[in-house]
Structure 1
């Protein structure tokens, strides 16, 4: 039957079989039963050349094995190796005996080490500690046969690209969604920027979660020279070419733990005297809990692209950040040693979770981060506004100008290739106009496309830009010209013209409303301070301006323009406070600019510096009961962040609004970020000081509901071990154990 099948059909028949045994049987049957239209039989010389043996051996060799070896030789010669191969004398001699045609190109894999049992110290196979080896001279005739030695000299990104597709059935050796830092120049610039603040951590213990390729980890290790550096890497098999040299160094302080650091059950095993002998857990009444612990530094890479969703969280990164902020307030995990600083890598768009720039994206997670950490710095990022919500260029430029002024006073400089987007534009404007610009554009429209529109208009006026594709820039209005094809440049010019008209109308409306709101806040401050003798006149003027603002907002026909105006007013409200309500606007320096080529895969990351602060006394008194009430207040009010404070307080509990309003003067104090008209004051603009006042007033309320009434209404329970001390991290273990298979 196989004689009647063509060569192509026989190949398809063989490939259609999934079982390796059936494939070998089909191959042997096909080649032993040669088709009628076969070519001339092979000569003895060709058989000898194909098999690499003499004629007698070739005659005794089955036809299927002969053709298989010949095909293997052609395939080997046709493929180009990705990395230079290493000659192995032992493998070469053994392959010559077997008659392989080209044994030099083969690389033998190292023998798998025997599984080590627990020793007397209790260390297991999942933990690899560095042991000092005796000084022995290497054997010059023994060449290393590790499969990864041949690719050790290639760039990190190329090696990762190769290993991401390796494994049985082309499965990767680890999680291929993780993004790694591969640019050594970026690491050097980051450490140079952080040199003053990192000096106090010299000789500390480093807990490194998901080091991956270890580029940033090794740079930080060389900079700080820690006494212990624990690497928690679950995909060690994938990153062995990078991490094993760090472990093999005789003077190495690295310790590898092949478990995930974002699973709290695994992390708790590392947080022990065995692995961190210099750290001492503090009791709940120890005052050192609220003081920085500079002898421990936590580094983590929580970047995944595409995102990993988990339960009710849109990404795994958001979940871990939420739990880390909860650990700060609960003094659990590594925060039981004191306030531990955290350097965390996240994707560029997820840096806005804890460090937002716009009022519309300031959610519950950002409030919790502001309360848990006194300072959160954006060390490096793309430095551009990402996402749908972007602040006005005038606010961005003003805040960048203030940050550059602080940098100048502190003597901080930025390399030319690391200038942030606002910083680069302001310096360019200063070079052209002789002074630092007050906005990202010298035009009143405040849009970055304005410069491009000006250039296109000049080119069109001088004839450098043609309207039609034939190059004839004629003004003839005949109908025949409408059928011509317009050039892409002119289409871009026409689109920018339309955008200028629309944005011009919308921008003028929004700018007038923002200016009117700023005037209202200024009048409120004058009345609150009592700066004017005629207070009644100011009150009447304030009432009139407030009514005009509300009527103008209600009369706007488009909801999009109305929402843009409200967001612009809220963003202006943030920067009018002293200090600014957003932690990003309190930055001491501009972040360093990163590029996609410095990461693998090519997706920009951001490095955030979390510096925890001591928790409020009201949260420390009766933990976790008071903390549950705090979670209820934040979650309930931020269920609708756009709602007014009046509506948000009324949603807490019947009678809560009347009590809190008289007990919290900061809500109506314009000098502290408040507003006398709570209907115009949204919940998303409340600062952390206001939440502290509300929580303290809540526990003074005689008719407040019980804790269990609040939790039943919220539909959540944080967990309590019964001692009221460190039992609040029960949810950490629960979610951490659920993340075991992530």
Structure 2
């Protein structure tokens, strides 16, 4: 990110919880700021590390004791003159949403032990989201204009803000996508707490696309910041002529060979498959002696190790067969989406009718493939299909899949205490001129109503309020193939909605004459979601 930091040289730095100051000093030496405020919440522990920075001849460091979890702390810093070259800006000013490149906010949003927040299991998750929203209100350190933020944070605390697959999306994902351009600069690598969010084939496909974008921008991942999955991605890119589009069976066989050659696939391959490969390799290298006894029919008995290995192999084979069936259904689901896009872009007439008949045939084939999968795991088809469409359909989907480069891999001995941590680059997106703070607050509240990520937008809107599904007709983006829309909205699930789609639904609902009168406030859905329930009966709020 060095090149992108050039524009901040000579700026002011607000450094939250700088700790021992290692990151702070490196960033300071590069940017040579005119003012570097070290806001430390535990001065007793860290002042001995930070004071020498302050005491250097000609130092621009300033040590301040304060709590970054209290938003009033930032107002006090500004009022007390710690940023003399900065000027507060009125939120209603036409320049209020222009980026303030003369201020860079950085620091550590990690506490040991983990610090809970209000309504959150982590205060880091709470204030990270608050800092993003405050940029649109010009509050806190954004009072002088929206400022870029570089934060060290636990990887698990950004898994909803920056999910790596559809299963990781939540109601806050859309808010972050709307307000913040977020890039993970440093990652703990594999195995990662978020590794379960996406199948290996889609994780590698996404990685290949990111490495391609980085290469085009002249960015190369240093050798000591790579890991095995990057080598695997290079191989798969060659195998697929750069697309990364590879089937489960082919990729699984490739990964098996890699594991047998001594290259670990931990965190990438499904655990049961990897354990089988490891056990088979050990069995071949050191087979147990054959049992002395024979069976009743005179055949030699199978050793216990061989018997156990056969059971695991049979289980893995069953799982592989199921995955093949899921792949076949997902292939059909993707073809249905492509056919819908073709129909949506075709003028009315004979050709459109012909293509519609093809669509119905594909839908029948998909239903048959769906019926051929065990009822208990059929929903996996939609997870796999949505992940595939996230990668291959147009329109803003996951910020992770649009990353400009692969994160640098953080080595275990580079952080203390040893945790899975990430460095996240947050650049506020300007609030649209035609969107007020009240509009944004209503949008944030409305995302709370869109529960059931695997449910269709039709079903969810009717859950918002009976009959509200008719409002989907007022949101063109829902059926715009260039924006990821669908012809059949029953196949457009909530987790596939883009911020533009949600904004359109939110606006349509606010203007709906049949809207619940109580929904006029920007806290209606959040308060409704938090209302306690007893034995399935919703209690009234006084």
* TM-score interval (norm. to shorter): 0.7 to 0.9
Counting only pairs closer than 5 Å after superposition, residues 533-612 of structure 1 correspond to structure 2 as: 533-550=350-367, 552-553=369-370, 556-559=373-376, 561-612=377-428
CA contact (8 A) 1:521 1:670 kept: no
CA contact (8 A) 2:17 2:38 kept: yes
Q: Deviations over 1:58-89 (max 9, x none)?
A: xxxxxxxxxxxxxxxxxxxxxxxxxxxxxxxx
State the match for 1:501 in structure 2.
Answer: 317
CA contact (8 A) 1:273 1:279 kept: no
Distance in 2 separating the partners of 1:651 and 1:694: 14
Q: 1:697 aligns with which of 486, 508, 523?
A: 508
Report which of the two structures shows the higher radius of gyration computed on alpha carbons: 1
State the match for 1:486 in structure 2.
Answer: 305
Cα separation, partners in 2 of 1:463 and 1:474, compared to 1, 3 Å: farther
Deviation at 1:409, TM superposition (A): 1.6
Deviation at 1:703, TM superposition (A): 4.1
Q: Which runs of 5+ in 2 are unaligned?
A: 262-275, 529-542
State the match for 2:442 in structure 1.
Answer: 629
Per the normalisation by structure 1, the TM-score is 0.63
Q: What secondary structure, in the 3-state scheme, does the structure 1 residue paired with 2:397 have?
A: coil
1:670 aligns with 2:475: no
Q: 1:684 aligns with which of 457, 473, 495?
A: 495
1:325 aligns with 2:132: yes
Q: Deviations over 1:519-545 (max 9, x none)?
A: 111111111111785221221221232
Q: How many residues align?
A: 510
Distance in 2 separating the partners of 1:198 and 1:388: 30
Distance in 1 separating the partners of 2:113 and 2:322: 35
Q: Deviations over 1:644-665 (max 9, x none)?
A: 100111222344321x222111
Deviation at 1:699, TM superposition (A): 4.3
Deviation at 1:345, TM superposition (A): 0.9
State the match for 1:642 in structure 2.
Answer: 454
Distance in 2 separating the partners of 1:341 and 1:266: 18
Counting only pairs closer than 5 Å after superposition, residues 351-500 of structure 1 correspond to structure 2 as: 351-373=158-180, 375-384=181-190, 385-387=192-194, 389-427=196-234, 438=244, 444=250, 446=252, 450-451=256-257, 464-468=284-288, 472=289, 478=295, 486=305, 494=310, 497-500=313-316
State the match for 1:725 in structure 2.
Answer: none
Deviation at 1:677, TM superposition (A): 1.7
Q: What secondary structure, in the 3-state scheme, does the structure 2 residue paired with 1:286 have?
A: coil
Counting only pairs closer than 5 Å after superposition, residues 205-284 of structure 1 correspond to structure 2 as: 205-272=12-79, 274-284=81-91
Counting only pairs closer than 5 Å after superposition, residues 87-106 of structure 1 correspond to structure 2 as: none
What RMSD, in angstroms, separates the aligned Cα atoms of the two structures? 3.2
Q: Which runs of 5+ in 1 are unaligned?
A: 1-193, 718-742
Distance in 1 separating the partners of 2:482 and 2:292: 60
Distance in 1 separating the partners of 2:116 and 2:253: 35
Cα separation, partners in 2 of 1:556 and 1:279, compared to 1, 3 Å: same
Distance in 1 separating the partners of 2:480 and 2:406: 31
Q: What secondary structure, in the 3-state scheme, does the structure 1 residue paired with 2:58 have?
A: coil
Counting only pairs closer than 5 Å after superposition, residues 501-520 of structure 1 correspond to structure 2 as: 501-520=317-336
Distance in 1 separating the partners of 2:333 and 2:64: 56
Distance in 2 separating the partners of 1:260 and 1:482: 70
Counting only pairs closer than 5 Å after superposition, residues 327-346 of structure 1 correspond to structure 2 as: 327-346=134-153
Deviation at 1:636, TM superposition (A): 0.5
CA contact (8 A) 1:520 1:546 kept: yes
Deviation at 1:697, TM superposition (A): 2.8
State the match for 1:308 in structure 2.
Answer: 115
CA contact (8 A) 2:150 2:423 kept: yes
Q: Deviations over 1:692-714 (max 9, x none)?
A: 22233334434444466556753
Q: What secondary structure, in the 3-state scheme, does the structure 2 residue paired with 1:260 have?
A: coil
Per the normalisation by structure 2, the TM-score is 0.85
Distance in 2 separating the partners of 1:501 and 1:353: 34
CA contact (8 A) 1:397 1:426 kept: yes
Deviation at 1:304, TM superposition (A): 3.5
Deviation at 1:475, TM superposition (A): 9.9
Q: Deviations over 1:181-215 (max 9, x none)?
A: xxxxxxxxxxxxx1110000000000011111111
Deviation at 1:557, TM superposition (A): 2.3
Distance in 2 separating the partners of 1:434 and 1:600: 40
